[in-house]
Each structure stands twice: as structure tokens, then as C-alpha cells.
Structure 1
Amino acid sequence: MPEHRVGTQEQFEAARAELLVEEKELTRRGDELARKRRELPWVPVEKEYRFETEDGPRTLADLFDGRSQLLVYHFMFGPPYEAGCPVCSSIADTLDPQVVHLKARDVTLVCSSRAPLDKLLAYRDRMGWSFDWVSSGGSAFHRDLGFQFTEEELRPFLEGDIPPTVRQMAEASGTDVRGYVTEGPGLSAYALSDGTVFRTYGTTARGLEPAMAYYGLLDRAPLGRHEDGEQMFWLRRHDEYEKG
């Protein structure tokens, strides 16, 4: 544990009161951003995407499952992967228990990946999840949203110095670096109105942190995320920590 400033209870309470003002400002700013997010223009989805599901082929409209709103988490599990991305797996740990609560608010949540459906369902069984997981491998769904990349697009990255964490995640997923970074994580949102599907939102990278509950908690722990300078990423699948 590194050395840290030590003070009295009175000093703590005074500093905490100052910080609370900023935390409340951030909360209000977050509420304002959420409002602006909802006010984004809706874009009609004109392509007829097809997905393989446990119940057979389905369209994007079918994935709403009788509700008017749909959230899709684009899970990094490409055709050559032998296991899901560990980071996406940690996100799925957070998403899985939220499905029932989202349904209560007229929202369906599914995960979508490009790997064959049997691979996805076998991995879901291993992880103990129950959310609906669909394979989009036969469509350009991920590509059209910016969550799939070509080797040509990746060439500058692949010909550069590959970060050790990327090699680590690729190996953990049972593929090489090229196969790993071809996929990208993301969250996209849709509305179904009068028979038309509209795309309403999309995000990736740190925009996914609300689904990474452990970071919000680590940010409040004494050492925070404590990731600076680490050559190997600390995150593991939930059934791998004891093995590590």
C-alpha cells in the first residue's frame, strides 16, 4: 500500500464536503447528457439483417421479442475465437442479471457475436449466463455499425508495436492478434415503432463503462483502478481467477 496523506476526521469531512459538490455537478451533467442522448434523431434501419438464434433465424425486428426497445451488446467473439473476449465476458457478467429488470421497462437486451451459434451457446453455458445470444455471422450487422474491421483497415496497427495486453487478450480468446482485433465491442440501441426499426444510439470503448460495474466500484476504492504501468491486464473471466 503506497503512502498517502493522513488527516483528522474534521479534515476528511471538510474535503469530502468539497468533493460532494463536484460529484453532484457530475450527476447533474450526466442527467443532461442522458436527455440529449434520448433526443438524438432516430435512423430507420433499412437493411434486412438476419440472425441465427436458439429459436431459428430471426430478423432485427424479431429480436425485440414483443417489446418496443432493444439493446444489443456487440460481444467480441469472432469466428476463429475459441472463447469469448475476457473483457466482454466481464461486461456480460454485469448484463446478465439486468435482463429481467430491463424487460420490466419494455426493453429487450441481447448479445450479438459473429461466431457460430453453437460456440456462443457452449460458452454461455460455461459462464452460467442466461441472456439471449445471437449469431450475426451471416450478415454485415457488426460491420455496418463499426464493430468489425478488415485486415487492410488494421494494417497500420498490425505492422506497429502490438501492446502486450492485446496479445494477452488474443491468446486468452484462442486466436491470433489479427483475428482478435478484427472484432470490436459496442452497444447499440433500437426502437420499434409502427413496424419500423430505428437505430437510436451506439457507443464503444469507454462508452461501455456503465456496463463494467467493477470500474465504478474500483474508482471508489483506496487505490482506484491501479492499472497505470501494468504490462499484463489484471482482468480474467470469473471462473479463472483462482487458476491465476
Structure 2
Amino acid sequence: MTPSDHPVVSRDRWIAERKALLAREKELTRLRDQIAGERRTLPWVRVEKRYVFDTPQGPRTLSDLFDGRSQLIVQHFMLGPGWEQGCVGCSYMADHTDGMTVHLAQRDIAWVAISRAPLVEIERFKRRMGWQFAWASSNGSTFNHDFGVSFTPEDMAGGEVYYNYAMQRFPHDEAPGISVFYRDEAGDVFHTYSTYGRGVEVMMGTYDMVDLTPRGRDEGGGAMGWVRHHDRYEPAPSREPAAGSCCRSHD
């Protein structure tokens, strides 16, 4: 259905249909609350490996990235060594971050982006985009591979990689994701959760707003096809969908 052929009804009819949809929206809200509770009851995995990251403050371990807090959210940002710029979709995710971090801190949550690119390349792209959030380089460590967002040539040789908890085709050797960690009072770190594919939309608050509008995402020509780096949008964006993001959403 397109806006040009959309039904137009009386206010009373609209209210009746809106209330029916509201009942479904409340079902979704309750289901989200239920799933959030189930997520919190997942078992944890102790992180035994000592990961060291390159940061503007010098080398830091995974435990250091908590910055004194007990919870840590990591955005696995697709920026590989030698890349000219970060993934469009991951950048779209990151555009929502700076406004969140002050609020996350009030819930005892630290936040950091981690990429495999060397720190100098990360810092160059970060300056271009005007971001302030923490961003570390995992270059030289196995962190990205261990958490399922980077793939070796051997991984990709068979045509499929293990991503989002299943073997599937993926067009790049870097992939998007979000991982969550907990640090206890003894300093032990635990992996509590990771989400990939369309799960990363949890960071894409703009999509929630877009989904409220009559045209919605309008992505028939390719998932995230309209998204650009925020400094690369045309003044009057075309309505025609483009080819799609480098990390276009997968189910």
C-alpha cells in the first residue's frame, strides 16, 4: 500500500482501528519486557583470555574499559585495517551514541566501540565524524574473531562463515554486533550477551521514529539503502533506494 492509494476514513473509524492496533502494540511491549527479563537470566561465560586494546590513553585491558563500572556495552564497529572509512551502517548506529553515554553511566554502564583498524585510522575517521565516545583498537588481538565479528581468509574460503549463531554467507571479513560484559567485585569479567544481524537495530533509534511514519523505512530496493555517513547526505535526498549498507540488516 502506498500513500497515494491509502484509504481515508472518518475520525470514528480511525479511532476504532487505532485502538485495535494499540492492543497489538501493548502485546509487543509486554513481550519485549518478557524477553528482556529472559535475557537477564542467561548464564554467563567467564572471559579467561587477557585482551589488550590500543586506546588514546595507552594500552588497556578489557577490564580497564569498564572505567570503574560493573557493566560494559561494546559496539563491534566495522572498520578494518586500511579501510578508508567505517561501515555506513555501523556509523548510523554510532550516530546515536554520544547522547546515550551520560545516561548509561547513571545505570553503571560503560560504552565503547571496538574495531580491528589501528588506532590512528580510528582516530582519523572519528575526527571526521565528530564523535566523542570511547573507541578502542583490537588490532593484533583475537578479540573480534573470538566474538564472531571478524573472519580470516580461511574462515571465508568455504563461502560461509559462522555469524549470528549459524553458518551463513556474509559479504565482508568484518561484521556488526553488540556484546555485553559484567565485571564483579573481584575483577573477573564475564560475557553476558551478544547480538548480531538485525539485533543491532537496538542502537538505531532513528528507525523507531521512521517506523512511525506513513512511508516507513521504504527499503524495498535494499535494506538500509538510503543510509549514508551523516556528512555524505545530499541536501535534497532522492526517494530512490540505493544499493544497501555494507552491513545491511540480516534476519
Residue 188 of structure 1 pairs with residue 179 of structure 2: yes
**Counterpart Cα distance in 2 of 1:29 and 1:123:** 38
Count of aligned pairs: 224
**Counterpart Cα distance in 2 of 1:50 and 1:57:** 6
Partner of residue 78 from structure 1, selected from 77, 80, 104? 80
Deviations 1:66-98, CA, capped at 9 Å, x for gaps: 111100100000002111111100100011211
**Counterpart Cα distance in 2 of 1:106 and 1:232:** 32
Partner of residue 118 from structure 1, selected from 114, 117, 120? 120
Normalised by the length of structure 1, the TM-score is 0.87
1:155 Cα deviation from its structure 2 partner = 3.9
**Counterpart Cα distance in 2 of 1:232 and 1:14:** 33
**Counterpart Cα distance in 2 of 1:30 and 1:238:** 30
Question: Which 4+ residue blocks in structure 1 deviate beyond 6 angstroms?
Answer: none
Deviations 1:152-185, CA, capped at 9 Å, x for gaps: 4334559xxxxxxxxxxxxxxxxxxx9x710011
**Counterpart Cα distance in 2 of 1:123 and 1:231:** 24
Deviations 1:96-140, CA, capped at 9 Å, x for gaps: 211111111110000000001011111111111100100001111
Where does residue 209 of structure 1 map in the other structure? 201
Amino acid at match of 1:188: S
The structure carrying a bigger helix percent of its residues is 1
Label 1:231 to 1:124 Cα distance change in 2 as closer, same or farther (>3 A): closer
For structure 1, list consecutive stretches of 5 or more residues without a partner in the other structure: 159-177
Where does residue 164 of structure 1 map in the other structure? none
Normalised by the length of structure 2, the TM-score is 0.85
Residue 131 of structure 1 pairs with residue 133 of structure 2: yes
Identity across the alignment (%): 49
**Counterpart Cα distance in 2 of 1:73 and 1:232:** 18
Considering Cα pairs closer than 8 Å and 6+ residues apart, tell me whether 1 or 2 has the greater RCO.
Answer: 1
Where does residue 234 of structure 1 map in the other structure? 226
**Counterpart Cα distance in 1 of 2:222 and 2:151:** 27
**Counterpart Cα distance in 2 of 1:239 and 1:50:** 32
Alpha carbons 2:89, 2:224 under 8 Å: kept: no
Partner of residue 199 from structure 1, selected from 150, 170, 191? 191
Amino acid at match of 1:44: R
**Counterpart Cα distance in 2 of 1:151 and 1:228:** 32
For structure 2, list consecutive stretches of 5 or more residues without a partner in the other structure: 161-169, 238-251
Amino acid at match of 2:118: P
**Counterpart Cα distance in 2 of 1:53 and 1:219:** 37
Alpha carbons 2:176, 2:197 under 8 Å: kept: yes
Label 1:230 to 1:70 Cα distance change in 2 as closer, same or farther (>3 A): closer
- SS of the residue aligned with 1:221? coil
